[in-house]
Every structure is written in structure tokens, then in C-alpha cells.
Amino acid sequence: MNIQFADRMNNVHKSFVREILKVAANPQVISFAGGLPNPSSFPVLEVQNATHKVLNDDGYNVLQYSNTEGYLPLRQYIAERYFKKGVVVDPNEILITNGSQQGLDLIGKVLLNKNDDILMERPGYLGAIQAFSVFEPKFHTVPVVDDGVDIDSLKEVIKSHEPKLFYGVPNFQNPSGITYTAQNREIVAKILNEYNTIFIEDDPYGELRFMGQDVPSMKTYLGDNTILLGSFSKIVAPAMRLGWICARHEIMEKLIIAKQASDLHTNYFSQRVIHQYLIDNNIDNHIKKITELYKGQRNCMVSMIEKYFPQEVKSTKPEGGMFLWATLPEGFSSLELFDMAIKQNVAFVPGDPFYINEKGTNTMRLNYTSSTEEKIEEGIKRLSEAIKDLIK
Amino acid sequence: MNIQFADRMNNVHKSFVREILKVAANPQVISFAGGLPNPSSFPVLEVQNATHKVLNDDGYNVLQYSNTEGYLPLRQYIAERYFKKGVVVDPNEILITNGSQQGLDLIGKVLLNKNDDILMERPGYLGAIQAFSVFEPKFHTVPVVDDGVDIDSLKEVIKSHEPKLFYGVPNFQNPSGITYTAQNREIVAKILNEYNTIFIEDDPYGELRFMGQDVPSMKTYLGDNTILLGSFSKIVAPAMRLGWICARHEIMEKLIIAKQASDLHTNYFSQRVIHQYLIDNNIDNHIKKITELYKGQRNCMVSMIEKYFPQEVKSTKPEGGMFLWATLPEGFSSLELFDMAIKQNVAFVPGDPFYINEKGTNTMRLNYTSSTEEKIEEGIKRLSEAIKDLIK
């Protein structure tokens, strides 16, 4: 018997990265392919204590159904933390979601009609491409360059298409590691405001800065014209799938309805546990521990790249986050490199899935947070051998 | 600035029940409006122990990202439990979701195009109406009668529309408490098979039988032509939002892609905790405790209705689950009754939200699991006063 699936699924494919991760799971392989936080940073004991406390003090409520918006004290905590960083958000303009990935799905649900224009970074976060593809928009892209969004391209694309939404990751972008400078943000905001384009500011990595200076949120330039996404996955624990959306009241109302239709509410047990963890511990100290760890790994990868990679290969030098981005000389395919690298027992993510419709790109994403410095040195050595074989 | 929301949200409204629950939250009000399990049945201590164990033994994995399908030993546990009840499911045909509500969203996403025909029970589960409305199908309905689906109506509607899907809750239906008899299931299955209509068998209450005999799952009649939904919300704890979908391989593949795009994966911390709870405890004994509690509450409500309600009011006598359904004489509106009842400090859910497009219905849903027997007696007394005022 044949089933007629919904048309919207035609353009949504199984994550390519998933398939790569299967290959990279071989213990012989040194993998820069993953996107996982380093588990040694997880506050296992503190989560243990927080769980004990909430179940002990309020177990019958902690295990019951809850409201769609999310646990109010947790939303208040998030709002207060933003406030300290100069971002003003009302707790009632925050919705707790199953990781920020669900935020993308809900935004697509309430804002995207088929063939609506949406602007994406090039390269861009593949999870966002996947989430929005379900709603069959028309994707347009602007390149990400050293200081953020390429302004000339942005002007051109926005003028031709007047997109409803622009999705970006201004801090330590996935996949490139690039951060928009303050000046770049200001110009981008000005252009978006002219066209009433809403910026979806996805910020899972913003807290993971290990060098340089913090840059203000796009929301400080765009105000209510931003939908801001955040997550506890990279600073506490991804297994709990706790993220959030901040959006102005009018949009929030629709998001809450969509959330209710999607899954009633986010896991309340985990919301209570993470809230207890946050009020009982110093999260800034914890984040400092993570960023010091990642800084060492990043420095190691950057210097090993300088030492071993052929000079023709360019790469970014991120000031935070989990990834850097390398570019082979023109005309070489990173997919082809992947096949050669895997024979040397080293893995990465080829650039293709981070583009909407480009194949055979010469770029690749390298994750440094999941490997020890020894593995990073050995892995970059192996990878440079594969690169030399490819471009010789 | 005006925002153009997506058309799909036009027909999705904030849950009416949510608004009612706000009114019913007044501590003076005896509420039969909720749909909550009785928290006294929650295994708080056992969840405490299970959490301690998984964090202690495997904390760094328990807090990390996981796979989209869900924790394999949990899926195996579910498959084994089905097997004991005569339902054969491969663990790879199970996807762990954020409660079974998310199952409805994912099914809509992969199977419903705009204007596709879908068949629903009348009255039907309002969460399903809400979830599917997002995908803008054409709803058709068949009445639920004492022994299950009204067969003549089913034949007629299915012949005219050949719907792709039929959504139903065959055990202790929400809202009516009705269970399809074995004979009714057999006939329904035969008709659906003729038209290749897939049955979405939503079964959150199936384990909550407190009298009468178990009836085989629709899947035993329909096999691969069923999508079966289950949930731990009513037998362990709703806060964890753990449900599942069973579907044949071809459909499962698409569901996994949709799940990945929606939120990557279900809360892994909670999956591990609940799995540990399930293997360390006797869930059948726990379920027995719940059903004994609910049986007492149900018996009390049924006998109080017999004692106090005017004879013209009809009501169901469920053999399990959490709800019963009362019907006023023709021409009287339960919404009007609601306003009168709330003045007497008693609440229920008027029937309207359980219908697709009917207003001013004479039906209402009464929940018995959230009130003590004393409250049930007092509440039914007050409600019968309001009814007498209305129909006098």
C-alpha cells in the first residue's frame, strides 16, 4: 500500500551530519565532526543535588502537568540574566522550549507560509535550514564574512525580496565561528529596520566567549524587531532539552498556541531541576570553567593548523563557541577530502549541508570541544596529510 | 508594525479548557474540569532513586545529547510490554516523543496536506483537533456511541470522503469515557482496511482499566495500518513529557526526520530516569494502585450522579480512564450551565471544544480523578442544583 506523505516533507532530509557521525563513531577515528559540548564540563553532582531538592520539597507538583509558557521563576531568571547584559525582556515574553531547535520549528509554524521569503546566512546552521524547510519558504542567503554579514549582499538581497525574516547566529556562528562586530550589527539592524524584516537571533553560544570583548545583542539595536533564542544546552546540559524564545507579546501569543498544539508544554521536571541548579550554584563560575577548557582546545587547534596545514588552506580564529571553519583552495571538494580523511582515521563535517543548494563546496567545519589537545594535534596532522594528498 | 502570520494559525485557538481551568483554580471551586492524574499516585521516591542511580552510574552520558529515535532500552521495554499484551512492535518502529501530543503534531506534519480528509470521533479529543488544525485538513466526524464508533455513520462518511486518516481513542475515550467493544473494533477495522484508511490509535488511558475485560488493541486487527500512540503521563508522571509513536518502517522514517527538524530529540535525562524507574519497580503493582484509587472515585461519581442528577440527564459509566460524559436534555446548553455552576462553585468542561464546529451543545465532561470522594459528593450536589435551575 502506498502512502501519500505531506508535500512539506519533500525538501526535508535526514541530517547528513547524522550519517557522518556514524562513520566517525569508530573509536580509531579522531572526530572533529561532532557538535557536542565536552561532557567533562557537565555539573553532574550539582544536578543530582538539585533533583533531590525539588523532588524532596515539592515532588507531587514537580511530576505533574504544567503550563505551556514554562516555569515562571525560570523565565524570571532568564530575564534577569538578560537585564544584567543590557537586554530588557519581560518574563511574559519568554517561552520555554525543548531546546532552541523547537524555537525554530515554532517560529516557522506561526510565521512562514509556503513561498514566503526568508534570509539565511551563507554558510548557515543546518538545523535551522532543516526546521524551516518543513514550511516550504523561499530561501535567500547572504555571505558571512570576517566581521559578520556581508553588507553589500544584504542590501541587494533585502531590496529584491523584502524577506519577512532573517535568521542568523551573530555570536560564534555555527558553522563558521564568526562573530558579527558591533559596527556590523548596527548596520545590519539599520537595513533590517528599513524593510521591517524580523531578525531571528539564535544565540546558543554567546556565553562561551573565551577571548575578546562581548558585543551587544542584536536585540539592543532592533528591539521588538528581534526574536531571540537561547539555550541551556551549551552552558548546563543538552540532555534536558531546555531552550527559550523571547518575542514581543503579539508574536508570543501565537507561539504559545503553536507550542500548546505541538506538545502542551516543555518537560516540567527538568525545568524545576535546572532552575534549582541555577539558583543554588554560581553559573558564571561554571561558564568560566567551560570557556577555559574550550580556550585551550581552540588555541591548540589554531596553532596546529598553523603548524601543519598547507598555507593555501584558510581558516577562522573564533573568539568563542565550539567550531572553526576551514576553506580549501578553489576547486577542491571537502566531500572528496572527507573520504580521504576517513581513511586516515580523522573526520570533520564537509561544508555542503550548511548551504541551501550548493554541492561540492571547498569548506569544512571543525569542532574542537570534544577532543583532548593530544587528539587535536594528532587529528590535525592526519587531516593535513589528507589535504596535501588532495591538493597536490 | 503589522505582522503577517502564517495562514495555518488562523484555525488554531488557545485552548478553551485553559481558560476554564483559570476560573476553576479558585480554591472555593470544586473542579471536575481538569484532566490531571491524581498526584498522590506519583512515585516521587522511586523517581528520586532512579535519578540518583542514573546520574551516579552514568552522569556524563545521561546529560549529553542523544539520538532522535529515543533511548533504545526504553523502546525495547515498550515493545516487550506490548508483546505481553499480544501486540507485536519492533523497537525500531517506536519513536520517543514529548508526550503523545507531540506524536499528533509529527503525524500531521508528515501526513497531512492542506485540505486532506481526516476522520475524527464526535465528540473527540480537543488536543488532537488542535494539533491537526495547524495542518489545515478537512475534518469529518463520526459519532461515538455506547459500544464505540457508530458503524452506519462510519460507512457513510468513509465512502464519501475516503479519508487518509482516522483518529480515535478506543479505550476510555477523552472526553466520553467510552471504550470500543471487541466486536465494534473488528467491524471498524474491516471498513478502514477496505478504504486503506490509517487508524491513529491514541491510547493514553488503556492501562487504567478498573473494571471489565481488556479489549485487544486496534493494531491487532489492523496491523501496519495503525499508528499507535502511547504515554507514560498517566501511569508514571506527566511532567516528564514522555510518550511514543509506533508506526511501520516507511512512516517511521519520515517521522524521525520530522522529529529531528522539530527538536532534535526527546529529553534524554528523563528517558534515562523513567527507564531506570521501570526496570527497578513493578509497574503493574503501581498501575493497580492508581486504578484502585480511580475506581473508588469513579464509583462515587457515578452513584452521586444517580442520587442527585435529574433523570433527564444521561451519563456514561466508564470502565477505566479519567472522565465521564453527561448529556443534558435536548436544547439546553452546557455553556450556559457552566456560568450557573461556577456561581455554585463547581466547574466542568462544557462539550463545545470537543466538537469541530458545533456550538451550544448539551454535553459536558466530568473528571473524577482529581477530587476526593467528599468533594465529588459535594460537587455533584452543587452541579445538580445548577442543572435543576437550568432545565426547570
Whether A57 is in a domain gets the answer no
Burial class (CB in 10 A: 0-12, 13-18, 19+), B376: buried
Summary mean pLDDT of chain B: 96
Q: What is the number of structural domains in chain A?
A: 2
How far does CA A314 lie from the centroid of its chain?
Answer: 22
- The nearest alpha carbon in chain A to B64 belongs to A239
Q: How far apart are CA B81 and CA B95, in angstroms?
A: 15
Amino acid at A109: K
Q: Using the 3D structure, point to which of B280, B311, B342 is the last residue of a domain.
A: B280
Average pLDDT over residues A15-22: 75
DSSP state string for A268-321 = HHHHHHHHHHHHHS-HHHHHHHHHHHHHHHHHHHHHHHHHHS-TT-EE---SBS
**Together in a domain, B308 and B185:** no
What is the reported pLDDT for A2? Answer: 77
Amino acid at A227: I
Average pLDDT over residues A71-75: 98
Size of interface A-B (CB pairs under 8 A): 238
List the single residue in B45, B105, B268 with the smallest CB-CB distance to A261: B105
What is the reported pLDDT for B236? Answer: 97
Q: How far apart are CA A134 and CA B258, in angstroms?
A: 8
Q: What tens digit of pLDDT does each residue of B297-308 get? A: 999 999 999 999
**Together in a domain, B24 and B105:** no
Residue A103 has pLDDT above 80, yes or no: yes
What is the reported pLDDT for A1? Answer: 61
Contact B134 A63 (CB under 8 A): no
State the residue range of the domain holding B121: 61-280
Q: How far apart are CA B90 and CA A105, in angstroms?
A: 29
Phi, psi of A371 (to 5 degrees): -125, 145
Q: Using the 3D structure, point to which of A227, A246, A280 is the last residue of a domain.
A: A280
What is the reported pLDDT for B11? Answer: 83
**Together in a domain, A38 and A75:** no
* pLDDT tier, A282 (very low <50, low <70, confident <90, very high otherwise): very high
C-alpha cell at B311: 433523570
Average pLDDT over residues A98-117: 97
Consecutive H or E run containing A326: strand A323-327
A384 CB near a chain B CB, below 8 Å?
no
- The nearest alpha carbon in chain A to B370 belongs to A64
- Looking at residue A209, the DSSP 8-state letter turns out to be B
Burial class (CB in 10 A: 0-12, 13-18, 19+), A12: buried
Whether B308 is in a domain gets the answer yes
Contact B98 A44 (CB under 8 A): no
Phi, psi of A319 (to 5 degrees): -100, 5
Whether B1 is in a domain gets the answer no
**Together in a domain, A131 and A173:** yes
Q: What tens digit of pLDDT does each residue of A344-358 get? A: 999 999 999 999 988
Q: How far apart are CA B62 and CA B60, in angstroms?
A: 6
C-alpha cell at A271: 525545568
Whether A175 is in a domain gets the answer yes
DSSP state string for A186-206 = HHHHHHHHHHTPEEEEE-SST
- The predicted model scores a pTM of 0.97
Residue B293 has pLDDT above 70, yes or no: yes
* pLDDT tier, B15 (very low <50, low <70, confident <90, very high otherwise): confident
- Looking at residue A348, the DSSP 8-state letter turns out to be -
What is the reported pLDDT for B3? Answer: 86
First to last CA, chain B: 52
Q: What tens digit of pLDDT does each residue of B329-354 get? A: 999 999 999 999 999 999 999 999 99
How many other C-beta atoms are found inside a 10 Å radius of the C-beta of residue B319? 20
Residue B24 has pLDDT above 90, yes or no: no
Q: How many residues are present in chain B?
A: 392
Chain A residues closer than 8 Å to B50 by CB: none
Please report, rounded to a whole number, the percentage of residues in chain A having pLDDT higher than 70: 100
What is the reported pLDDT for B2? Answer: 76
Residue B177 falls in which region: left (phi positive, over 0), alpha (psi -120 to 50) or beta: left
B63 CB near a chain A CB, below 8 Å?
yes
* A130 neighbors A286 (Cβ within 8 angstroms): no
Average pLDDT over residues A124-132: 96
Whether B52 is in a domain gets the answer no
Whether A125 is in a domain gets the answer yes
Contact B131 A241 (CB under 8 A): no
Give the sign of the dihedral formed by CA A165, CA A170, CA A175, CA A176.
Answer: positive
What is the reported pLDDT for B21? Answer: 76
C-alpha cell at B45: 521516591
**Together in a domain, B199 and B132:** yes
How many other C-beta atoms are found inside a 10 Å radius of the C-beta of residue B287? 17
Whether A58 is in a domain gets the answer no
Q: What tens digit of pLDDT does each residue of B120-162 get? A: 999 999 999 999 999 999 999 999 999 999 999 999 999 999 9
Contact B261 A12 (CB under 8 A): yes
* A12 neighbors A133 (Cβ within 8 angstroms): yes
Nearest Cα to Cα of residue B354 among B145, B128, B131, B189: B128
Phi, psi of B137 (to 5 degrees): -80, 175
Chain A residues closer than 8 Å to B62 by CB: 44, 239
Consecutive H or E run containing B134: none
Residue B18 has pLDDT above 90, yes or no: no
What is this model's ipTM? 0.96
Q: How far apart are CA A134 and CA A8, in angstroms?
A: 5
**Together in a domain, A158 and A175:** yes
Nearest Cα to Cα of residue A177 among A16, A63, A322, A335: A322
Average pLDDT over residues B273-290: 98
**Together in a domain, A207 and A144:** yes
Whether A55 is in a domain gets the answer no
β B30-31/B346-347 pair status = parallel
Q: How far apart are CA A363 and CA B382, in angstroms?
A: 71
Chain B residues closer than 8 Å to A61 by CB: 39
CATH number at residue A16: 3.90.1150.10
CATH number at residue B185: 3.40.640.10
Separation in Å, CA of B105 to nearest CA in chain A: 5
Q: Using the 3D structure, point to which of B236, B253, B280 is the last residue of a domain.
A: B280
Consecutive H or E run containing B198: strand B198-202
- The nearest alpha carbon in chain A to B19 belongs to A67
| Surface of B (236-255) touching A: CB under 8 A | 237-241, 250-251, 254
Q: What tens digit of pLDDT does each residue of B25-69 get? A: 788 999 999 889 999 999 999 999 999 999 999 999 999 999 999
C-alpha cell at A305: 593548523
Q: Any bridge partners for residue A346, and if so which? A: A30
Burial class (CB in 10 A: 0-12, 13-18, 19+), A264: buried
**Together in a domain, A364 and A297:** yes
- The nearest alpha carbon in chain A to B132 belongs to A261
**Together in a domain, B202 and B121:** yes
> The cell 495503525 sits on which residue?
B226
Report the residue of A12, A14, A130, A263 to disrupt the B interface, i.e. the one with the largest count of B CBs within 10 Å. Answer: A263
**Together in a domain, B269 and B207:** yes
> The cell 531568571 sits on which residue?
A77
Q: How far apart are CA A357 and CA A325, in angstroms?
A: 19
**Together in a domain, A270 and A296:** no
Residue B232 has pLDDT above 70, yes or no: yes
For the sheet containing B242-246, what is the strand order? B94-98, B242-246, B226-231, B198-202, B165-168, B117-122, B138-145, B148-149
DSSP 3-state assignment of B21? Answer: helix
**Together in a domain, B154 and B227:** yes
What is the reported pLDDT for B1? Answer: 61
Please report, rounded to a whole number, the percentage of residues in chain A having pLDDT higher than 90: 92
Contact B238 A127 (CB under 8 A): no
What is the reported pLDDT for A16? Answer: 74
CA atoms within 13 A on the CB side of A106: 37
Amino acid at B83: F
Residue A159 has pLDDT above 90, yes or no: yes
Cis bond upstream, residue B310 (ω within 30):
no
- Render the burial of A98-122: b for 16+ CB within 10 Å, e for the rest: bbbbbbbbbbbbbbbeeebbbbbbb
Q: What tens digit of pLDDT does each residue of A210-227 get? A: 999 999 999 999 999 999
